[in-house]
Amino acid sequence: MRASGGGKLTFGLLFALYSGSAGMTQLMTTLNAAYAVRERRSWIKVHLISVALTLGISILIIAALLLVVAGGYALSIVGQHFGINLAVYVAIKVVQWVCALAFVVMAFAAIYYFAPNVYEQHWYWITPGSLIGVIMWVAASAGLRIYLHFSNSYSKTYGSLGAVIILMLWFYVTGLAFLVGGQINATIEHAAAEHGHPEAKLPGQKAA
């Protein structure tokens, strides 16, 4: 039974990785369209990048969620049993949210650096697109959490599939935030290139 359960878990993880990498490949294609460049990387390279980004982004986003959800739960338990000064509590919450946002910002930076087929891409921790994307992602995630807190109609309507549907909706919102941020970055870069910025690229340009 344990071997069967382990096999099912392995299959589930591999299927999730395959599904996620397929979505990541589509995200890479859309970002190429935003930068007006063609995908000239080999099929193997594209899918290796897709799998690596899927793993990396999943780890970063899950770490951010664990910091916010599990971290807050652990902090409340510690406060109930041992007591925590209000100033210390606030300081820990601030550090917790700063670290979570840092993970999300790192995820956006990795997407915008590795996903589009642009040579001599520069690594930027914070860009206008990533800033808007992170704000959009946080707002949408918070709104979804508020909805789930005050409404449980989805479970009555869809039963056990409700959680899967909510998760798929959250994935959709996350992907939309990446795309909106990428389009903003591409638009700003193209405008900067038209004004003569030395490191910016015109639509369709691959090299800086």
Single out the residue of 56, 65, 60 nearest to residue 17, CA to CA.
56
pLDDT for residue 158: 60
Average pLDDT by stretches of 10, the chain with 208 residues:
56 66 84 83 88 87 79 71 73 82 88 80 79 85 75 63 70 83 84 63 51
First vs last C-alpha separation in the chain: 57
Please state, in angstroms and rounded to a whole number, the distance separating the CA atoms of residues 146 and 130.
24
pLDDT for residue 7: 60
Please state, in angstroms and rounded to a whole number, the distance separating the CA atoms of residues 21 and 16.
8
pLDDT for residue 94: 83
pLDDT for residue 207: 45
Q: Which residues of 25-34 are buried (b: 16+ CB within 10 A; e: fewer)?
A: bebbebbbbb
Structure tokens at 149: 């807190």
pLDDT for residue 119: 67
pLDDT for residue 160: 61
